[in-house]
């Protein structure tokens, strides 16, 4: 594929980003091999495989179509694709580190990086101060992905006249991503029960990084004026918050075949989700001590049984917490679509952006410009008591 021709890239943005990634990563892997072949095979190749073969490139697509929506064309194509490649490498870093911090053995249906290294060397039960050998190696793998992301971004800046503003957004994005992850961990460790705190972590960890910042980068690459950049960032922020809330619902009610992780894992790990925080808030307002006791006993208990998790899921539905979160998703998504429609943007590119944002929030692909269609996921368990009961 000719990645310098935006019309060709438009036909398949993920493929174009993958083409650029493969070229860049081949060079990075050669550098790793020059440092040490074992390091290259154990760490470098895993970073390459993780990046090239995984994900739907949603952030990259939002970045590309935001550039196109703002009138970007051939002069911006190469810089945009390299920036998108850098964002994909940031995502690799975030997910590898996230799996270590969560102790997740699976990612995208395959062993996570730390689990794969421990399997390779038989070190799963050999504990270190900060986990196993695989865990320590995965931290280094994430660090390597971050270094490669910065290298790639610097190369992209050399191809655009908007380097100063792009660099500012990039620095903010990296810092907020780390801050959001820390707040998430801090909430788990301290047992935070604040819906506001949960939403703030979601904004930093997911909303800005997953949608707002990629869309902002795309608009800046096209040379869009401040008002257009602000509008796209706002649309991305609303949809990004909806995306995180949708992810919370999937973490509780989603089909393991779809989510790629065991049902109820977020509850057992004590994830400080907005969904659980809302359920606690409702229980406190109603003085429902039984509900609060159930949440205290099960959420954050790695030994919680299937029956106990099912009781919490029933509570999330019966209390109205699930419906309240679903309603907020719809409001946020509707706001995002309204913002997109309010600007003087390319209609074709905006249609792609709308579709990507709606899909990320669980809405049907047939509703690219409205949120009136039913979400695909947080409605599929319309009668969760019977659905859960059948899985006990």
CATH number of the structural domain spanning residue 198: 1.10.600.10
Residues 179 and 105 in one domain: no
User: In the structure, what pLDDT confidence band is assigned to residue 375 with cuts at 50, 70 and 90?
Assistant: very low
54 φ, ψ (degrees, to nearest 5): -115, 160
Residues 152 and 194 in one domain: no
Mean confidence (pLDDT) of the chain:
87
Write down which residue in 117, 138, 160 finishes a domain: 160
Report the pLDDT averaged over residues 374-389. Answer: 32
Write down which residue in 117, 141, 160 finishes a domain: 160
Examine the pLDDT at 382 and tell me if it is beyond 70.
Answer: no
Domain with 196, as residue range(s), is 167-392
Residues 44 and 173 in one domain: no
DSSP string, 237-269: HHHHHHHHHHHHHHHHHS-HHHHSS-TTHHHHH
Residues 77 and 192 in one domain: no
pLDDT the model gives residue 1: 66
Residues 131 and 228 in one domain: no
**Interval 35-51: pLDDT, tens:** 999 999 999 999 999 99
pLDDT the model gives residue 104: 81
Strands 110-111 and 106-107: antiparallel
Write down which residue in 133, 160, 187 finishes a domain: 160
User: In the structure, what pLDDT confidence band is assigned to residue 17 with cuts at 50, 70 and 90?
Assistant: very high
Report the pLDDT averaged over residues 253-261. Answer: 75
Residues 47 and 5 in one domain: yes
Reported as type and span, the H/E element at residue 77 is helix 74-102
174 φ, ψ (degrees, to nearest 5): -60, -45
pLDDT the model gives residue 388: 25
Number of domains present in the structure of the chain: 2
Residues 227 and 142 in one domain: no
Tell me the percentage of the chain whose pLDDT exceeds 70: 90
User: In the structure, what pLDDT confidence band is assigned to residue 77 with cuts at 50, 70 and 90?
Assistant: very high
C-alpha distances in Å from residue 58, one per residue of 11, 65, 190, 257, 353: 15, 10, 33, 20, 10
Residues 125 and 183 in one domain: no
User: In the structure, what pLDDT confidence band is assigned to residue 188 with cuts at 50, 70 and 90?
Assistant: confident
pLDDT the model gives residue 261: 67
Examine the pLDDT at 166 and tell me if it is beyond 50.
Answer: yes
Examine the pLDDT at 353 and tell me if it is beyond 90.
Answer: yes
Report the pLDDT averaged over residues 123-133. Answer: 76
SS3 content of the chain, % helix, strand, coil (to 5): 75, 0, 25
Residues 91 and 156 in one domain: yes
Residues 188 and 156 in one domain: no
Report the pLDDT averaged over residues 183-195. Answer: 82
Residues 15 and 42 in one domain: yes
**Interval 285-335: pLDDT, tens:** 999 999 999 999 999 888 889 999 999 999 999 999 999 999 999 999 999
Report the pLDDT averaged over residues 338-357. Answer: 92
Residues 176 and 60 in one domain: no
Examine the pLDDT at 155 and tell me if it is beyond 80.
Answer: yes
**How many alpha carbons fall within 13 Å on the CB side of residue 81?**
27
């Amino acid at each position: 594929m000719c990645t310098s021709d935006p019309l060709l890239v438009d036909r398949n943005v993920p493929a174009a980003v993958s083409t650029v990634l493969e070229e860049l990563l081949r060079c990075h892997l050669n550098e790793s091999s020059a440092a040490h072949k074992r390091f290259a095979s154990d760490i470098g190749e895993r970073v390459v495989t993780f990046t090239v073969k995984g994900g739907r490139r949603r952030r990259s697509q939002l970045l590309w179509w935001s550039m196109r929506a703002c009138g970007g064309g051939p002069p911006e194509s190469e810089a945009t694709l390299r920036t998108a490649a850098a964002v994909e490498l940031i995502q690799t870093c975030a997910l590898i580190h996230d799996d270590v911090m969560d102790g997740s053995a699976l990612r995208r249906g395959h062993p996570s990086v730390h689990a794969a290294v421990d399997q390779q060397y038989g070190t799963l039960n050999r504990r270190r101060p900060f986990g196993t050998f695989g865990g320590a190696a995965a931290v280094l793998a994430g660090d390597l992905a971050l270094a490669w992301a910065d290298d790639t971004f610097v190369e992209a800046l050399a191809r655009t006249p908007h380097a100063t503003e792009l660099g500012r957004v990039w620095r903010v994005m990296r810092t907020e991503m780390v801050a959001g992850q820390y707040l998430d961990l801090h909430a788990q460790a301290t047992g935070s029960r604040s819906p506001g705190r949960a939403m703030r972590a979601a904004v930093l960890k997911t909303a800005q990084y997953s949608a707002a910042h990629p869309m902002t980068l795309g608009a800046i690459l096209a040379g869009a004026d401040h008002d257009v950049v602000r509008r796209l960032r706002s649309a991305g922020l609303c949809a990004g918050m909806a995306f995180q809330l949708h992810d919370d619902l999937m973490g509780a009610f989603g089909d393991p075949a779809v989510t790629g992780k065991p049902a109820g894992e977020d509850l057992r790990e004590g994830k400080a989700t907005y969904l659980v925080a809302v359920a606690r808030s409702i229980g406190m307002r109603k003085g429902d001590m039984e509900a609060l006791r159930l949440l205290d006993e099960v959420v954050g208990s790695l030994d919680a049984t299937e029956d106990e998790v099912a009781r919490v899921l029933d509570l999330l539905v019966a209390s109205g917490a699930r419906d309240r979160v679903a309603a907020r998703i719809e409001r946020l998504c509707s706001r995002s679509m309204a913002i997109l429609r309010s600007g003087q943007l390319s209609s074709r590119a905006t249609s792609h952006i709308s579709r990507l944002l709606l899909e990320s929030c669980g809405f049907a692909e047939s509703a690219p410009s409205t949120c009136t269609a039913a979400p695909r996921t947080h409605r599929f368990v319309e009668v969760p008591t019977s659905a859960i009961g059948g899985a006990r």
